[in-house]
Amino acid sequence: MKMNKPYYAVIFTSTKTEEDHGYAEMAQRMEALASRQKGFLGVESAREEIGITVSYWESLDAIAQWKNHTDHLFAQQKGINDWYSWYKVRICLVEREYDFFK
């Protein structure tokens, strides 16, 4: 995934509770909804014991708009109440990137 630099990365790390009823469906719904937001550039995600989702955005304003989207606010509250035992959000400016493919 090549993007014009600089751009922003929102890194969401979490651990889940035992309760996950509806979690996978909501995660898919949020990814689909985020992908339609102005300024959205992409997303990468992995989940084992700790979940890590990195979403990429054109601007801090685009990130703020997503954070405050009505459906996303509902999902955030559901996560706090039911799905997560812990989470952390980091917002970073990406100025440089490199990769390797075989």
Mean pLDDT calculated for residue range 66-79: 96
Question: Is 57's pLDDT higher than 70?
Answer: yes
d(CA 90, CA 42): 16
Q: Which helix (H) or strand (E) holds 6?
A: none
pTM of the complete model:
0.90
The CATH number of 7-94 is 3.30.70.100
Evaluate whether 66 touches 58 at the Cβ level (below 8 Å). Answer: no
d(CA 68, CA 62): 10
**Which residue has 């014009």 as its token pair?**
4
Q: pLDDT: is 20 or 1 the higher one?
A: 20
Least confident range from 1-5, 50-54, 81-85: namely 1-5
